[in-house]
Amino acid sequence: KGKQRDALCYLLDVFPSLCELAGLPTPQSVEGKSLAPVMRGETTQVRDSLFAAYRHFQRMVRKDDWKLIRYNVKGVDTTQLFNLRDDPWETTNLAQDPEHAQRVEALTAVLRKWMAETDDPCDLDNPGWKR
């Protein structure tokens, strides 16, 4: 009570969390992860990254304090990288900063892996991201 946690979560994690806290079984069909261990202080996170997609032209990965966004609008591929700890309003794009090139590469690899695992219909290597 009265504590704040910084664990990454999806909205779909709320239901299994409530089930666990209420002592109810979580149905097998539920894809979310219970946040109850985080709430009880047993761990700091149940996910190490978050992903999002918007239609056929935006993909995002959040890992630790970092957020990488890829856009492809009208054939123009744009990458954005933000340090959310230092820049929570996402005002300074660090993607083109050579100091962060390895981070962009690493987060892009994490994003590509997720896209492959989820059979994402977009291909970041093709113009317009079409497969």
Which of 26-30, 37-41, 64-68, 71-75 bottoms out in mean pLDDT, i.e. has the lowest?
71-75
Range 49-129 has CATH code 3.30.1120.10: yes
CA distance 73 to 6: 32
pLDDT digits (tens, 9 = 90+) for 94-111: 999 999 999 999 999 999
Question: What gap in Å lies between CA 76 and CA 74, rounded to an integer?
Answer: 6
Q: Where in the chain is the domain with CATH 3.30.1120.10?
A: 49-129
- DSSP, collapsed to helix, strand or coil, labels residue 25 as coil
E strands present in the chain: 49-54, 58-63, 66-73, 76-83
* Gyration radius of the chain's alpha carbons: 17
66-81, pLDDT tens digit by residue?
A: 999 999 988 889 999 9
